[in-house]
């Protein structure tokens, strides 16, 4: 089982995340004001601010800060309307948004002053900290993340049997793209990509046979990593095509993807099924761990393959 939750450590993480998103939201209000002064709309700033508020709202709900949740939700309503009808947002509407940010900042400051968490959110956080997947046989990618100290917050929506590219699930409903709710997030791992794009967590896991990590990552504007075949264990993944199935992480940045990729990879994956004569087979690979520090250093010294005749010369800009 996981170690007991250090509530103060979690709260410190919440405060750091909230401060970052409040700065982003403030910058977006300034950008909107400048655009509206020129008579222009700025959909990018609207969506970026919506994303920041959505993240703050989700985190605030976990720590029981209901006043922050209510203010963020009201601001989201204004921004959602502005996104659906570009040009409808006026400079006069920015003042209530700015006042809302000030109220959120005051709420965050109140939490930073040492105010104790309400009992219900504390119990929820402690139950999440104790969440540990029980997996028989070889440890799954999820189990490896939990062992590395990740806090698992839930399961994401996806296509039944991991087959499809829209994440329209007849049992759990259609997954929305957090950037534009009437658009799909891609699939089949659409819920994982949508959760990361909405800021609900640092990373999520997906499975990929013919694009189920890369498609939703592209649709939701996040990073999707399809690792070398066999590096991430496929325990628990629906076997659609044994020689093509992969597991991999989705994150908001390429550097962030290195850590979950490293935690879930294993240089011994596939050895239980190795050929007795050669010690190797098509499902075994000796993986070199992905260093996050190395990923931040850039691609210098790494070989890059470029496919000849890939049709790139026929691509149209935009």
* Lookup: tokens for 257: 């993807």
Residue among 107, 106, 112, 149 nearest 8 (CA): 112
pLDDT attached to residue 3:
47
> Domain 7-112: which CATH class?
mainly alpha
Closest C-alpha to 263, from 113, 178, 151, 143? 143
Rounded to whole angstroms, how far apart are CA atoms 147 and 205?
15
| Contact (Cβ atoms closer than 8 angstroms) between residue 291 and residue 297 | no
CA distance 170 to 159: 9
Domain 131-297, CATH among 1.10.645.10, 3.40.50.10790, 3.90.1300.10, 1.20.1250.20: 3.90.1300.10
Q: For residue 207, what is the enclosing H or E element?
A: strand 203-208
- pTM, to two decimals: 0.53
Cα–Cα distance measured from residue 29 to residue 42, given in angstroms and rounded to the nearest whole number? 10
Listed by start position, the domains of the chain span: 7-112, 131-297
User: Hey, what are 196's tokens?
Assistant: 């990361």
Nearest to 56 by CA among 74, 39, 82, 42: 74
Residue pLDDT tens, the chain, 318 long: 344 455 566 667 777 778 888 888 999 999 999 999 998 889 889 988 888 888 788 777 767 778 888 888 889 888 888 888 878 888 888 888 999 999 998 888 887 776 655 555 555 555 555 544 444 445 788 888 888 888 888 888 888 778 888 898 877 788 989 898 889 999 899 999 999 998 888 899 999 988 999 999 999 999 999 988 878 877 777 777 777 888 899 998 888 888 888 888 865 444 433 333 333 444 445 555 555 555 556 667 777 777 776 655 666 665
Whether 7-112 and 131-297 share one fold: the answer is no
Q: What DSSP element (H or E) covers 249? A: strand 246-251
114 φ/ψ angles, rounded to the nearest 5 degrees = 100, 15
**Token code pair at residue 170:** 């007849």
Instruction: Provide the pLDDT for residue 130.
Output: 53
pLDDT of residue 269: 43
């Amino acid at each position: 089982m996981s170690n007991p939750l250090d509530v103060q450590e979690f709260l410190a993480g919440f405060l750091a995340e909230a401060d970052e998103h409040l700065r982003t939201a403030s910058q977006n209000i300034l950008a909107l004001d400048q655009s509206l002064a020129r008579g222009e709309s700025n959909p990018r700033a609207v969506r970026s601010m919506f994303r920041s508020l959505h993240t703050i709202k989700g985190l605030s709900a976990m720590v029981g800060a209901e006043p922050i949740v209510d203010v963020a939700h009201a601001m989201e309503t204004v921004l959602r309307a502005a996104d659906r009808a570009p040009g409808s947002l006026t400079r006069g509407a920015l003042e209530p948004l700015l006042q809302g940010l000030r109220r959120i900042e005051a709420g965050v400051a109140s939490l930073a002053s040492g105010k104790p968490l309400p009992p219900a959110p504390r119990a929820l956080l402690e139950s999440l900290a104790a969440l540990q997947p029980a997996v028989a046989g070889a440890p799954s990618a999820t189990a490896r993340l939990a062992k590395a100290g990740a806090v698992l917050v839930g399961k994401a929506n996806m296509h039944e049997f991991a087959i499809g590219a829209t994440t329209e699930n007849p049992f759990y409903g259609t997954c929305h793209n957090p950037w534009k709710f009437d658009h799909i997030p891609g699939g089949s791992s659409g819920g994982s990509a949508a959760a990361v794009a909405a800021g609900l967590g640092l990373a999520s896991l997906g499975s990929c046979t013919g694009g189920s990590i890369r498609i939703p990552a592209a649709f939701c504007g996040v990073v999707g990593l399809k690792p070398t075949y066999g590096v991430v264990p496929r325990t628990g993944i629906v076997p659609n095509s044994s020689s093509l199935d992969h597991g991999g992480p989705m994150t908001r940045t390429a550097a962030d993807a290195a850590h979950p990729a490293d935690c879930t990879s294993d240089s011994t994956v596939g050895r239980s099924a190795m050929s007795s004569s050669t010690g190797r087979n098509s499902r075994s690979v000796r993986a070199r761990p992905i260093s996050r520090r190395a990923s931040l250093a850039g691609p210098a010294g790494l070989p890059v393959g470029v496919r000849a005749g890939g049709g790139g010369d026929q691509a149209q800009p935009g």
